Chains A and B, each alone.
Chain A
Amino acid sequence: MNGFTYLANVATLQLDRETCIGCGMCVEVCPHQVFALERRKAEVRSLDNCMECGACAVNCPVSALTVDAGVGCASGLINEWLASINVRKTGSGCC
């Protein structure tokens, strides 16, 4: 996304190129153009653009992708944390 990058070296996205069959689904679903196909395999081009939405991992037919997916949202994380220490009942995100 032009002009917007978030904190560097934090994304938990991992690609197992051995397992990858090069179907290109991750390229199609990623809204931040993190992937590219290189020699019939997917390749992570710009890890720092990853917002960990999880679309690639969900749509990978051979489970070659893993990511700790969730909403990048401070109030959602605060709610989760409050729920984990039993201050608030609902633990779901912000939107």
Chain B
Amino acid sequence: MSYLVPPGLYAIGMPGAEAPVVVTANYKMSYDIVRSELAGRSVWLLVLETFGINVWCAAGKGTFGTDEVVRRVQATGLDSVVSHRQLLLPILGAPGVAAHAVAKRTGFRVRYATIRAQDLPAFLDNGMVATPAMRQLTFTVAERLILTPIELVSSVKWAVPFTVALVLLTGLSGLGFSLTTLLPVIVACVGTVLAGAVVAPVLLPWLPGKSFAVKGAEVGFAWAAILTWWRSEGLAWHDTMILFLAVPAVSAFLSLNFTGSTPFTSRSGVKKEMRLSLPVMAAALVVALIVWCAGRVF
């Protein structure tokens, strides 16, 4: 399946020379959303070549950028299609596009319209003036939940082999391969991934602290506590210790990775957080491993 739309100038409705020009990326989802939001109107849609990447990420990479806007305006002969000299860009495209440079090179004035495509109709009806709400980023529970599969899918790569290895070790260590001995291992592993990659992101604004790693560790500690309580009889002291070391460390790492899915974490902030938290996570895992080995020996 292809997620690319050929770049170029598209007509929505029956646009004339006066119709506004809305600029977007050639990621199929961006294109489809903009088109459906503007359905029933007559608007020109200038689709940039961002190689199937959304506006925000493409702006960060520079493909949704000044050069591409200039190239696309020239390639489509936009100046002979419309009589005005104005382009409407998504606000989240601004990190890649220098409005003054586009004006200098094409004669077209860049206006940053709204953050969300769904606000475009209201923006156009409002005399092309953005209200504060149209410039305001949001990060609701639904918006956070929708992003969690990214981390889940990428964690499957190491979480599944790790869980299988742990199940094999548990089975081979004399406990045998029965559901009662293996189920707790699987529940613990799956739960840890869910704690860091789903629960922490969803509870993000309510978890104490500002650091994502700390928030993830908090959920991890809660999960370790639940596991300890659930298995209170069958758990040796060293297993309890391993749970409280390894589960928060893994959960913290997964939550830290969620910074990439949020619209408010800064590069300097993530750098600082990584510098402080990665050594702690690594140390916790090393100690857990030592305790595990010691528990098998003694």
Which stretch in B78-86, B119-127, B134-142 binds the other chain?
A: B134-142
Interface flags for A33-58 (1: CB within 8 Å of B; 0: not) read 10000000000000001111111001
| A71:B137 contact, CB within 8 angstroms | no
B173 within 8 A of partner (CB): no
| B60:A10 contact, CB within 8 angstroms | no
Number of interface residues of A (CB under 8 A): 42
Closest B residue to A49 by CB, please name it. B264
Which stretch in B28-36, B89-97, B222-230, B232-240 binds the other chain?
A: B89-97
A contacts with B: majority SS: loop
Q: A77 to chain B: which residues have CB within 8 Å?
A: 267, 270-271, 274
Q: A69 to chain B: which residues have CB within 8 Å?
A: 95, 267
Closest B residue to A58 by CB, please name it. B98
A22 within 8 A of partner (CB): no
Q: A92 to chain B: which residues have CB within 8 Å?
A: 61
Further pairs besides A55-B94, A71-B260, A77-B271: 10, Cβ < 8 Å: A1-B136, A4-B139, A31-B135, A58-B97, A59-B97, A71-B60, A74-B212, A74-B257, A75-B257, A75-B260
Binding site for B on A (CB under 8 A): 1-8, 10-12, 25, 28-29, 31-33, 49-55, 58-59, 61, 68-78, 92-95
